[in-house]
């Protein structure tokens, strides 16, 4: 009856999804074009930069066949600006990167992870969905590609603390209807906050069950009356 895992994704699963994000690498060796199930990867031709999925970039980095160019938002300057924004605006998270304009009428709009939000030319002033996972993984494997890995690490820690504290404070503004603005919250933060926030909403709903029941009954009555009214109208026509 009881599943061993809580609802939602576990942190390793989130990290796995994050490995699909494209990052920019500077190859040190030539590599032919690779045909993979998810599409073909560009041929690597040093010293030209190429976008690769994170998992391959980390693999090549570990084998010393490539260097990873960290995205601009992972620079100490951008992170400091974002952290300042977070601490100044206590009532919301820093906004996610802007979506590009819709291509045309008939194509589907792109959204993360199909947007290159972590390549070298990504927006420098916003945290993308997988910011925490990507930052941690890059810092772990490719710390020497950062100019100042220690301060980046420290800033990421600070951001995580500030944002998790905000996510916890969210419960004080909750009501049983459960509407919370969570724009800009990252994947790992959702995984961390999910069980707590849903637990609070469940508890609140349990307390106000009787009121909800009354409201439901009233709504049903009103709807039934409303239906009668519509029927009358139909007949008039």
Partner 1 sequence: MGSYYDVDAILTDAQKVPCTFELTVPGLGYVEGNMSGDMKQGSKVELPLWLGEMLAFSQSLNTSSLVTLDPPSAVAPRVLNALKADPRTVDLRALAPHFYNLGARILELFDDDEMMEVLSETFKARAAVIADQAHNPRGALGEGADFMRGLDENERQLFRAAHDSAKAVRTWMADLKKQ
Binding site for partner 1 (CB under 8 A): 6, 10-12, 15, 136-137, 140, 164, 168-169, 171-172, 174-176, 188, 191-196, 199-200, 203-204, 206-211, 213
| CB-CB neighbours of 148 under 10 Å | 12
CB closer to partner 1 out of 45 and 213:
213
- Which backbone phi and psi does 97 adopt, to 5 degrees? -60, 145
Closest contact distance (angstroms) between CB of 21 and partner 1 is: 16
Contacts for 171-175 with beta carbons within 8 Å, 24 or more apart?
Answer: 171/196, 171/197, 171/200, 174/200, 174/201, 174/204, 175/204
Q: What angle do CA 99, 184, 12 make, to 5 degrees?
A: 105
Axis-axis angle for helices 187-207, 11-18 (nearest 10): 140
- Nearest distance, CB of residue 136 and partner 1, angstroms: 6
Closest CB to partner 1 among residues 44, 134: 134
Cβ proximity to partner 1: between 103 and 203 the closer is 203
| Closest separation in Å from C-beta 167 to partner 1 | 9
CA-atom Rg of the chain in angstroms? 24
Nearest approach, Cβ of residue 183 and partner 1 (Å): 21
30 and 23 Cβ atoms separated by less than 8 Å: no
């Amino acid at each position: 009856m009881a599943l061993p895992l809580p609802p939602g994704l576990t942190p390793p699963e989130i990290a796995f999804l994050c490995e699909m994000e494209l990052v920019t690498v500077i190859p040190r060796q030539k590599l032919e074009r690779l045909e993979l199930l998810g599409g073909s990867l560009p041929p690597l031709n040093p010293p030209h930069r190429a976008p690769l999925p994170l998992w391959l970039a980390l693999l090549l980095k570990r084998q010393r066949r490539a260097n990873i160019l960290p995205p601009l938002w992972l620079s100490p300057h951008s992170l400091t600006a974002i952290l300042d924004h977070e601490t100044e605006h206590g009532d919301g998270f820093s906004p996610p990167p802007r979506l590009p304009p819709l291509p045309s009428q008939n194509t589907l709009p792109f959204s993360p992870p199909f947007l290159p939000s972590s390549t070298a030319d990504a927006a420098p002033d916003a945290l993308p969905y997988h910011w925490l996972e990507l930052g941690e993984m890059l810092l772990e494997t490719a710390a020497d590609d950062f100019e100042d890995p220690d301060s980046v690490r420290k800033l990421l820690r600070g951001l995580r603390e500030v944002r998790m504290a905000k996510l916890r404070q969210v419960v004080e503004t909750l009501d049983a209807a459960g509407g919370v603005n969570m724009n800009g919250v990252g994947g790992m933060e959702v995984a961390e906050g999910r069980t707590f926030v849903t637990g609070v909403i469940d508890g609140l709903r349990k307390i106000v069950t009787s009121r909800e029941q009354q409201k439901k009954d009233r709504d049903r009555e009103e709807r039934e009356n409303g239906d009668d009214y519509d029927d009358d109208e139909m007949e008039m026509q």
